[in-house]
Each structure stands twice: as structure tokens, then as C-alpha cells.
Structure 1
């Protein structure tokens, strides 16, 4: 659960940074740094959700980019 919590937080935070960058200055350096971090966190959320084997709903919610990890974490706690 600790790994899922960390990956979900990083995924959500990196999405916020990417969207804020897109809506403001659109600096290529921020996108090139944050994009791979977001993608890696997204894959980590999916992998940790599948490994923890929570409910089927949590597995499907983990596939939602950005907030799916937080939703899956909430479902896994139940």
C-alpha cells in the first residue's frame, strides 16, 4: 500500500505540473522532465495495483491517467 500511495501522489502531482505548464508558459524543459516522471508513476500505479490484487474495480480505476491511482488507493483501503 505504501508504494501505491507514493506512486499515486507522484502521478497526480506530476499531472498538475504538466497542466499548469501547458496553461501558462509551456516551457519545453518542464514538459521533458515531468512527462517521463508522470508516465513512470502511471505505470507504477498500474503495476502496484495489480500486484496488491485489490478488487476488480480498483484494477480498472488504476487505468485512469492522473487520478486513477488515488481512486484505486481509496478502493483498496475499503
Structure 2
């Protein structure tokens, strides 16, 4: 779950920064740094969600495929279905 939390946050934050860069200064160096970071975080979110046993509920794994916020959606669904300790 820790990996999914970190990757979901990195995915959402990197997308926000990429869009902010696109709408403002459009610095190529920033895009070159954030693009691969976002792509890697997106793939980690998908892989982690599909390997998590708690994500076996209907629809959870498919939520991870939504670019940008899919990790946050999947994480929210997993935490809602997981009983509190």
C-alpha cells in the first residue's frame, strides 16, 4: 500500500506540474524531467494495483488505468473496502 500511495501522489503531482508548465512558461527541460517521471509513476500505479490482493473488488483495478488520478481513485477504493485495524 505504501508503494501505491507514493506512486499515486507522484502521478497526480507530476501531471499537475506538467500541465502548469504547459500553460505558463513551457520549459522544455521541465517537460523532459517530468514526462518520464509521470509515465513511470503511472506504470507503477497500474502494476501495484493489479498485484494488490485488496484490489480484487470489482472496478478497483480498472480505476488505476485512468491517467493522472487513477492511482488516487484506486487507493481510495481499496482503503474504503479494507477493514480498519
For residues 12-62 of structure 1, the C-alpha deviation after alignment (integer angstroms, 9 at most, x for no partner) is 000010000000000100000000000000000000000103123110000
Matches within 5 A, 1:42-61: 42-53=42-53, 54=55, 55-61=57-63
- Indicate whether 1:77 and 2:75 are aligned: no
What CA RMSD, in Å, does the superposition of the two structures yield over aligned residues?
0.7
Q: Which 4+ residue blocks in structure 1 deviate beyond 3 angstroms?
A: none
Kindly indicate whether residue 70 of structure 2 is the aligned counterpart of residue 62 of structure 1: no
Unaligned ranges ≥5, structure 1: none
TM-score computed with the length of structure 2 as normaliser = 0.89
Larger radius of gyration: 2
Q: Structure 2: state its 5+ residue gaps.
A: 81-85
Length-normalised TM-score, structure 1: 0.97
1:8 is displaced (CA, Å) by 0.1
Q: How many residues are matched?
A: 78
Report the counterpart of residue 40 of structure 1 in structure 2.
Answer: 40
